Structure 1
Amino acid sequence: MELYPLKFDPILKERIWGGTKLKDVLGKSITDEHTGESWEISAVDGDVSVVANGTHRGTSLSRLIEDSAGDLLGQSVVERFGKDFPILIKFIDARKDLSVQLHPHDELARERHQSFGKTEMWYIMDADPGANLIVGFNRDLDKQTYKEYLQNDRLLELLNYEQVKEGDTFFINTGKVHAIGAGVLLAEIQQTSDITYRIYDFKRKDKDGNYRELHTELALDAIDYRKKDDFRVNYSQHPDAVNSMVDSPYFKTIFLHLNKDFALDLKDRDAFTILMCVQGSANVIYKSESVSLQRGETVLLPAAIPGVTLETAGAKLLEVTI
């Protein structure tokens, strides 16, 4: 099967906290006033991405993997994950605060939900003045103290708030309580999982007048109750160079700040590569083909591709692999 740089149709998600930045800032084709997420590359059951360009247009990611797993994913990825695509890529627009939540680790997620856990990374693309995130606790806790604060509606007193600006990056371990604050637009890279334990939702109701489900009991054994300052990602931003951001067992991320054309050599990488454009634009050149990559767009480079040229006069890209 001939493979090439693949773009996918975004899977748009209406959310109670969503807004219009996915349309207004990133140019997504949406009409809803509460679109919170654009799933760019997904193999989550019920939300599998479909190719938007080239000869494989209309083909699902699952079908491509079934037909050509080694060439698409890379043999090293197949050995680890079989034919499961291990990463979920999103853009998220929070017009209002998201719920305070956390995600279980692999072992617990496998036992309870037959799923991967959910380690994730956030790159802030745009933030209103004063916008912030909730990341972790502001003190060490134990389970009993946490339960007492939660039962007395004092959970917010325990949470750590981080004010953010464009370019700030956060690595969210499983078990860490977190929430995206109002006014934040970000790129999210995560394990393929849709398992979330919601523990606080600001007493708001959905469009039908109902409170959203909380997962109080499930969360108790999944929470990391320790105060940790391990979430901000410090990375260099040297122009026209490879800048390492995250190197974890779940994904690796590189920051590319390009001011001119850049040759991306992938011949020694036995894995797929994902490029997310977070600023500017570029053309991805492979053989005689060119794929446009605008801000808010994502392209998947199959493992069989030995390299591409990125033609640009200015772009910031997140390069993601496994």
Structure 2
Amino acid sequence: MSQLYPLKFNPIFKEKLWGGQKIKTILGKDLGDLDNCGETWELSGVPGNTSIVSEGVLKGHQLTNLISEYKADLVGSSIYQQFGAEFPLLIKFIDAAKDLSIQVHPDDKLAQKRHNCPGKAEMWYVVQADQAASLINGFKKDSNKEEYLTHLESGQLTSLLHREEVKEGDAFYLPAGRVHTIGKGLLIAEVQQTSDVTYRIYDFDRIDKGGKKRELHTELALDAIDFSKPEQLKSKYETVLNEAIPIVSTPYFSTNKFILDQPKTINRSELDCFKIYIAVGGSGKIGGETIKFGEVILVPACMKQYNIEPDGELELLETYIEL
């Protein structure tokens, strides 16, 4: 077996009805023949959309095959015991040139029952925001099924929902059950459970390329929605140089931010898990592998200590799972 090292992967590009050009113009990725790109799946074990290593001696290998081969050395023993060869997180960049549909994701219990897959808790980090760009994040006040359906059927759903303007660096945790949407003008880095189950609630009466309205999942969504007002909306964190800044800590993943202007040694000897780094500003090296704005690196669980070296200044999101 080849020795493991920090792994980079080929992005998987997804054209969307609401997608734009920022994946190309801001993140510098080649869209090929696509008219737009709504999402890049940067690190994925979703069947049919498995990431492929882009550099080094393992170039061309699929992520799930590598997990089967390296097991705990790649993902950690507790992660491997729970998830096997399925990679438990999905990392994306999302470019919303138009509002996404208002939607909700089921939790683990409901998703397993209906779709035989995990639920979908997620977090958003705002990489770039146009002026006055906004998003929807839950209900303004505690609601219920009856009030919700009345507003949905009368076209007044948005009056029940919390919308707020956002800016670069804002971060949000969205547990399963939270009604939400990303508004136009936002470029988002997303960390989520490995699940592609979305219940579309309202799509602003849009027409797709085939001249049809997209399917809505009104009945499926009803049992998935948490009608209570969220206790916390935006994640609160302090800006500190050269230290791990906690942003999100959940049963599904934890995410820190680093703003580095000098080399830093990372020691994760207590953590039995891989580490994912998303570059949200600048460039540098992680464990000797280059990373630049818009790229993602997977550091294997067996690498407990390694150096991060910024070129000037480097901003990273660091994600892992603590079981």
> Where on the TM-score scale, by shorter chain, does this alignment land: which range?
over 0.9
**1:320 and 2:319 are equivalent in the alignment:** yes
Please give the secondary structure, in 1, of the residue aligned with 2:16: strand
Which of 32, 35, 38 is the aligned partner of 1:33? 35
Structure 1 residue 162: Cα displacement: 1.2
**Counterpart-to-counterpart distance in 1, 2:35 and 2:281:** 23
**Counterpart-to-counterpart distance in 2, 1:216 and 1:102:** 10
Q: What do residues 237-260 of structure 1 show as CA deviations (whole Å, max 9, x unaligned)?
A: 210011111111100111101011
Structure 1 residue 291: Cα displacement: 1.4
Structure 1 residue 266: Cα displacement: 2.3
Please give the secondary structure, in 1, of the residue aligned with 2:19: strand
Q: Aligned partner of 2:12: which letter?
A: I
Structure 1 residue 82: Cα displacement: 2.4
Please give the secondary structure, in 1, of the residue aligned with 2:168: coil
**Counterpart-to-counterpart distance in 1, 2:188 and 2:100:** 13
Aligned to 1:171: 173
Structure 1 residue 273: Cα displacement: 0.3
**1:206 and 2:208 are equivalent in the alignment:** yes
Q: Aligned partner of 1:130: which letter?
A: A
**1:12 and 2:24 are equivalent in the alignment:** no
Aligned to 1:92: 94
Q: Aligned partner of 2:188: which letter?
A: L
Please give the secondary structure, in 1, of the residue aligned with 2:6: coil
**Counterpart-to-counterpart distance in 1, 2:141 and 2:239:** 32
Which of 269, 272, 275 is the aligned partner of 1:273? 275
**1:221 and 2:223 are equivalent in the alignment:** yes
Aligned to 1:145: 147
Q: Aligned partner of 1:317: which letter?
A: L
Aligned to 1:305: 303
**Counterpart-to-counterpart distance in 2, 1:242 and 1:165:** 21
**Counterpart-to-counterpart distance in 1, 2:235 and 2:170:** 8
Please give the secondary structure, in 2, of the residue aligned with 1:55: coil
**Counterpart-to-counterpart distance in 1, 2:267 and 2:273:** 13
**Counterpart-to-counterpart distance in 2, 1:292 and 1:248:** 29
What's the Cα RMSD here?
Answer: 0.9
**1:42 and 2:40 are equivalent in the alignment:** no
Q: What do residues 134-191 of structure 1 show as CA deviations (whole Å, max 9, x unaligned)?
A: 0011122110111111111111211110100000000001111000000000100000
Which of 53, 56, 59 is the aligned partner of 1:54? 56
**Counterpart-to-counterpart distance in 2, 1:262 and 1:33:** 40
Q: Aligned partner of 2:300: which letter?
A: P
**Counterpart-to-counterpart distance in 2, 1:216 and 1:282:** 46
Aligned to 1:118: 120
Aligned to 1:156: 158
Identity rate, percent: 47
**Counterpart-to-counterpart distance in 1, 2:118 and 2:181:** 20
Count of paired positions? 318
Q: Which consecutive unaligned segments of at least 5 residues does structure 2 have?
A: none
**Counterpart-to-counterpart distance in 2, 1:260 and 1:162:** 35
Q: Which consecutive unaligned segments of at least 5 residues does structure 1 have?
A: none
Q: What do residues 94-132 of structure 1 show as CA deviations (whole Å, max 9, x unaligned)?
A: 000000001000000000000100000000010000000
Q: What do residues 17-53 of structure 1 show as CA deviations (whole Å, max 9, x unaligned)?
A: 0000000000111142320001000000110000001
Cα contact 2:134–2:166 (8 A) shared by 1: yes
**Counterpart-to-counterpart distance in 2, 1:241 and 1:54:** 29
Please give the secondary structure, in 1, of the residue aligned with 2:120: coil
**Counterpart-to-counterpart distance in 2, 1:189 and 1:281:** 20
**Counterpart-to-counterpart distance in 2, 1:29 and 1:291:** 21
Q: Aligned partner of 2:306: which letter?
A: V
Cα contact 2:95–2:188 (8 A) shared by 1: yes
**TM-score scaled by length of structure 2:** 0.97
Structure 1 residue 229: Cα displacement: 3.6
Aligned to 1:253: 255
Which of 174, 194, 197 is the aligned partner of 1:195? 197
Aligned to 1:21: 22
Q: Aligned partner of 1:314: which letter?
A: E
Structure 1 residue 208: Cα displacement: 1.1
Aligned to 2:293: 295
Structure 1 residue 308: Cα displacement: 1.6
Q: Aligned partner of 2:304: which letter?
A: P
Please give the secondary structure, in 1, of the residue aligned with 2:54: coil
Q: Aligned partner of 1:296: which letter?
A: G
Structure 1 residue 262: Cα displacement: 1.1
